[in-house]
Chains A and B, each alone.
Chain A
Amino acid sequence: DTEVTQTPKHLVMGMTNKKSLKCEQHMGHRAMYWYKQKAKKPPELMFVYSYEKLSINESVPSRFSPECPNSSLLNLHLHALQPEDSALYLCASSQVNMGLTDTQYFGPGTRLTVL
């Protein structure tokens, strides 16, 4: 099973709302990632978790709060977002071998619209 699932598929929220994106994998991967992708642009790395610990934060605004409750789950909590945060949010996972990474497997993404 090489599947990464993401819920919800679509999300519309107001600037005062609090919502969460969920990502799940059952491949035994110990590295999980959040990316943001604007239309017609490549994905941009936001956060990396390695062995359930945050290892990379690409200077993401605090209105985005990641959480990795266990090795299979990755959440992204959203609060007080701006319209420019509207994008496709992609989750990915990979093995971590000898400190290097293996193939990253991506989920289908959550299409977020902030009104």
Chain B
Amino acid sequence: KQEVTQIPAALSVPEGENLVLNCSFTDSAIYNLQWFRQDPGKGLTSLLLIQSSQREQTSGRLNASLDKSSGRSTLYIAASQPGDSATYLCAVYTGGGNKLTFGTGTQLKVEL
């Protein structure tokens, strides 16, 4: 059974700091990996999708990398802002391609 873990569980940083969120998964036979953000009580917003054949994806201040063989992905956020405060979830596609398993999440707070 695929298990996805995110470290740290919570993170508080001052505005402007660059930061890295970590995601690890136990079964490397994934189709792709997706990073989401979730604001309290809200749905999920997709940030980046990395295909299993890719090493990284970039969108604005966000950069996600994937090392499939070691079962790891990182989300790099540059020049963090208070609006980045949210819970960040990674999720991997396994089991025929349309089964998404979520990580435990990292709750990020960016302070002024």
- Which chain A residues have a beta carbon within 8 Å of chain B's beta carbons? 4, 6, 31, 33, 42-45, 48, 50, 55-56, 88, 90, 92, 94, 96, 99-109, 111
- Which chain B residues have a beta carbon within 8 Å of chain A's beta carbons? 31-32, 34, 36, 41-46, 49, 89, 91, 93, 95-105
Contacts of B36 in A (CB 8 A): 106
Q: A101-B31, A105-B46, A108-B42 are in contact. Are A42 and B103 (CB under 8 A)?
A: yes
Q: Is the CB of A88 within 8 A of B44?
A: no
What distance in Å separates the Cβ of B96 from its nearest Cβ neighbour in chain A?
Answer: 7
A105 to B46, CA, bound (A): 7
- 13 A-B pairs in the complex with CB atoms less than 8 angstroms apart: A31-B98, A42-B104, A43-B44, A45-B101, A48-B98, A50-B98, A56-B95, A99-B96, A101-B32, A103-B46, A106-B43, A107-B43, A109-B42
Q: Is the CB of A42 within 8 A of B102?
A: yes
Contacts of A99 in B (CB 8 A): 96-97
Contacts of A107 in B (CB 8 A): 43
A interface secondary structure, majority: strand
Q: Is the CB of A101 within 8 A of B98?
A: yes
Instruction: Tell me the nearest residue of chain A to B90, going by C-beta.
Output: A42
What distance in Å separates the Cβ of A110 from its nearest Cβ neighbour in chain B?
Answer: 10
Contacts of B101 in A (CB 8 A): 45
Q: Is the CB of B34 within 8 A of A88?
A: no
Instruction: Tell me the nearest residue of chain B to A108, going by C-beta.
Output: B43
Contacts of A33 in B (CB 8 A): 98, 100
